[in-house]
Every structure is written in C-alpha cells, then in structure tokens.
Amino acid sequence: MEALPELMQRQSQGIVEETLAMDGFLGFVGVTVGNRLMTISARESAKDPRQLLAGGCDRMTDHGRSAGTCSCGNKLPDPLPYW
C-alpha cells in the first residue's frame, strides 16, 4: 500500500491540475505541515470558486450527515478515502 503522505500528495496534485483550467484561476500555494496538507488559491473573482460545485446541486453538503443525498435530492458521489 502506498504511504499516506505520498497518496495525499498524489490525490491533491490531481485536484490542483483540474483547477488550472478553470476560469479566473490565478495560482495556488500548497503547504504540508506534519501529516496535513493545506491549499491556498487565488482567483480573479470571489464568484469563481463556485465552479468547484459544478455538476451537482450547487451546494456544499456533508456526506455523512446527509446519508449520501444532497438537499436537492440528488445522490452524492462516494467520498474520497481519507485518514
């Protein structure tokens, strides 16, 4: 099995690569502190991050609390594994 820090870094890299093509993306800083990864991103407009919700109900939802269903009624995708 892949070591946890390497797995987290690889998964995070894929997410960052997807955001490079999004409208208004200016840049990001990725920081590792112990076993935690943090990302700070810059965008042209405060509305630009809404693209990250595309394909869903345009809402953020807690998968565990909502039993896998968005408040709009759509089924949520399975959550990514985490530590």
**Per-residue confidence (pLDDT) for residue 39, from 0 to 100:** 82
Question: Is the same domain home to 51 and 40?
Answer: no
Handedness of CA 13, 17, 18, 22 (dihedral sign): positive
Q: Is residue 59 part of a domain?
A: yes
- When pLDDT is cut at 50, 70 and 90, the band that residue 58 belongs to is low
Q: Name all contacts of 39-47 with Cβ < 8 Å and 24+ positions apart.
A: 39/12
Helix (H, G, I), strand (E, B) or coil at 74: coil
**Per-residue confidence (pLDDT) for residue 54, from 0 to 100:** 63
Question: Is the same domain home to 38 and 58?
Answer: no
- When pLDDT is cut at 50, 70 and 90, the band that residue 83 belongs to is low
Q: What domain range is 26 assigned to?
A: 4-44
Number of domains in the chain: 2
Question: Is the same domain home to 29 and 17?
Answer: yes
Q: Is residue 49 part of a domain?
A: yes
Task: Report pTM.
Answer: 0.52
